[in-house]
Structures are given as C-alpha cells and as structure tokens.
Amino acid sequence: MDNENFVEFENIQKSYDGESLIVKNLNLSVKRGEFLTLLGPSGSGKTTCLLMLAGFEAPTAGNIKLEGKILDSIPPHQRDIGLVFQNYALFPHMTVVENLAFPLKVRGMQKEDIDKKIDQTLDMVRLTKLRSRKPAQLSGGQQQRVAVARALIFDPKLVLMDEPLSALDKNLRDQMQLEIREIHEQVGITIVYVTHDQAEAMTMSSRIVVFDDGIVQQVDPPTKIYEKPRSAFVAQFVGENNCLDGIVDKVNGQTCTVELLSGEKIQTKNSDNSPKGTQVLVSLRPERVKITKSEKGLDGCGNIVRGKLKEKIFLGDKMRARFNACQKENFVVNVTNKEGGEKAIETEPGQEMWLGWSVDDCCALQKGKK
C-alpha cells in the first residue's frame, strides 16, 4: 500500500440542495501516520469532508478511498474509523471502563483481552485512577480524554476528530492539544482533525489543509503555511498579519515593486509572478517589522516607512504596538521582551517612528485568487 495515498479524496463534490456546492472538486491525499488538519472558517466545507470520510454523508460526485478501497458502499460502522466529536458522545450511564469496553465487545473481543487493552489505554491517557467514574463525575478535559481513548482502543486504521477541544477553556484546550499530539506520536495512528482555530492547527499538525468556500487554498506543513502563504486568503486567515493593498509597479525577477494606496513604494517577493498593473495584497507578519526613532537604526532593511504610534500593549512575553502607517490605521508590530520590547517602544502614542523590514519578509499575492 502506498503510504502517501493512505486516504484519497478524488474529484469530490458535495451539495445538499442540488444547486450550491459545499465542497468543490476536492483532490487530497492523506499520508499514513500523519496528523492532517482541515482548517477554515465556518461554512468552508471542512466538516463536510470529515463527515463524508466517516460515512455520515455521501459525496455528490467523486470517490473517497481508504488504503486503495472505495468507501462509498461501506457503512460507517464497518470502515474501521475512530471518531471524536466536540460533545464527547460518551454513554452517561456507563463508567469509564464500560465506555472503553463497548467498542471492543461489539467486535467480539474476549474479556481477558478487553481488560488488558483497557488497562493499556487508560495508562496512555492517564485516567487509571478514574476508571470507575461516570462521565458526569469527570471534568471536561477528563471526558475528552475518555473520548480520545475510546476512539483509539480498538486500533482503528484512522481517527477523525471534529472540533474536539472547542468546548474547553483556553488553558485546558492548550494542555489537551499537547496531550493529543503526544498520543499521536506515541501510537503513530493517522489522524484527520477539523478546527477553525489557527493556533490549534499550527500546534498539532504534520500538515494543514486550508479551506475557503469549499476550495482548498493550500496544503503544507505549518511553517510553510505561515511563512509562505500561497493566496491572499491564507495570508489573512492564518496568524496575525499586516495586509497592505497596492499595485505592482515594476517586476524585478522574483521580486517586485508595489505602489501602496498611500503612494509609498516597497520591495517585496513576487509570490504569484504578478505582472505590472496587478492588484495585490502584500503580506507582512508583525514580528518581522523593526521600529526605531532614527532611520539610521534600520540599516539593511529593504523597506523603510514612517508611522505614528497609536497604542502600545504589554502582553507579558511581548510588546504589541499599533501604528498609523502605509495608510493603514492598524499596522501592528510585535517585539518580544527578550529582544527589548519595552525599550524598543519607549515613544509615547502620537509620536512618529521609523518602521523597517526585509524584502524577504513580505510577499505580494494576487487579490481574489483561489
């Protein structure tokens, strides 16, 4: 079996009303053993893809394959897929042990083997001491651990998770992200995960699939999604960004000169090989911008502009400053306090400063391109 094509979506389309398509011509392969996250805003088609893979929805067109076998005629309970949902879906009248035993009993496993498997799984999710409790006696995080354990306990070929952490508070959600990632690394099972939370996707995934309006915008590892967005949508949706509107004024090989709405001209990577006259969005991450009181402090920066400080906010690990710059009233700069964030932004709101960044730290992307 080709490990690169463990799961395959081939020319998948999905419509609920016979007119509008929720998923449009999806072609996607999932590698064996990877943690693949489907990321996108509400209504972008990511959960629909998961439901089709699980067997709860049927594609309007195209085929879905698991290990080379078309799944269309196989009912959900025969697909050998584990499921974890936001609402946990635990049996409230059963203890933790009974919840975990259920999928093993329906598969005809012997009691001795069931007990051994439950002990191993409870140890993995650190719930051994809570084995006799019922779901109502557990915290949200503990219930989610049971749900994850139940999805893994019968050694499925694949585990699907649909927004499993969205009901938890931030600290617990952050903790569970790391725990699920650790379990994935320990077990080595293939996971397809759905979320609208960009930070969650960046933390947990081997690769991220970014959806918008039923169309895949980009499929890449987290670092590439963040550092090299392939569309204006990805640049705006994933992570904090300064998005500057402009028109390509001159093309210089792999870079170009963009005239911003403010009239200022900046140098940037020409990611879409856009010709002169193309309307583009320049993507610039806040942590890539340097700020100084003197232009001389920005030697080596390919782009230097003036900005008026509007606000500065202390965030513990960093200082965030908002400027009026490049005709943008919310131009954000982040400076970590380890790098001297407080010292770097000693200027008071209302005063002007110099802002600079490298040509390699920004990219021009065609607006409206999908």
Cα separation of 363 and 131, whole Å?
A: 53
Tell me the average pLDDT across 33-44.
94
pLDDT tier at 344, thresholds 50, 70, 90 = low
Task: Note the pLDDT of residue 1.
Answer: 53
Task: Note the pLDDT of residue 267.
Answer: 95
- Kindly tell me if the per-residue pLDDT of 342 is higher than 70: no
Bridge-based pairing of strands 158-162 and 190-195 is: parallel
Question: How crowded is residue 43: how many other Cβ atoms within 10 Å of its Cβ?
Answer: 13
Question: What are the backbone dihedrals phi and psi of residue 82, each rounded to the nearest 5 degrees, phi first?
Answer: -90, 145
- CB burial of 222-239 (b: ≥16 within 10 Å; e: otherwise) equals beebbeebbbbbbbebbb
Instruction: List helix spans (H) across 167-221.
Output: 170-187, 198-204
Residues 235-284 have pLDDT tens digits of 989 988 999 999 999 999 899 999 998 899 999 999 889 999 999 999 99
pLDDT tier at 323, thresholds 50, 70, 90 = very high
Check whether domain 240-366 has CATH 2.40.50.100, yes or no: yes
Question: Do the domains at 3-232 and 240-366 have one common CATH topology?
Answer: no
Distance set, CA 252 to CA 205, 248, 256 (Å) = 36, 11, 5
For domain 3-232, give its CATH number from 3.30.1390.20, 3.20.20.70, 3.40.50.300, 3.40.50.720: 3.40.50.300
Task: Note the pLDDT of residue 137.
Answer: 93
pTM of the full structure: 0.89
Task: Note the pLDDT of residue 167.
Answer: 80
Q: Among 128, 124, 96, which residue's Cα sits nearest to residue 185?
A: 124
- Kindly tell me if the per-residue pLDDT of 317 is higher than 90: no
| CA 114 from centroid of its chain's CA atoms | 36
3-state SS, residue 132: coil
Question: How crowded is residue 139: how many other Cβ atoms within 10 Å of its Cβ?
Answer: 11
Give the sign of the dihedral formed by CA 196, CA 197, CA 203, CA 204: negative
Residue count of the chain: 370
Residue 238's beta-bridge partner residues?
Answer: none
Mean pLDDT computed over every residue of the chain: 90
Who's near 325: CB < 8 A, 6+ residues apart? 305, 306, 307, 308, 331, 355
Q: Provide the residue ranges of all domains of the chain, joining segments of one domain with +.
A: 3-232, 240-366
Q: Among 280, 272, 266, 239, which residue's Cα sits nearest to residue 359?
A: 266
125 DSSP 8-state letter: T
Residues 61-112 have pLDDT tens digits of 999 999 999 998 899 989 999 999 877 788 899 999 999 999 999 888 899 9
Cα separation of 369 and 116, whole Å?
A: 54
Task: Note the pLDDT of residue 343.
Answer: 53
Strand order in the sheet with 158-162: 81-85, 158-162, 190-195, 35-39, 207-212, 215-220
Residues 144-201 have pLDDT tens digits of 889 999 999 999 999 999 998 888 888 888 888 998 999 999 999 999 999 999 999 9
Question: What are the backbone dihedrals phi and psi of residue 46, each rounded to the nearest 5 degrees, phi first?
Answer: -70, -45
Cα separation of 71 and 160, whole Å?
A: 15
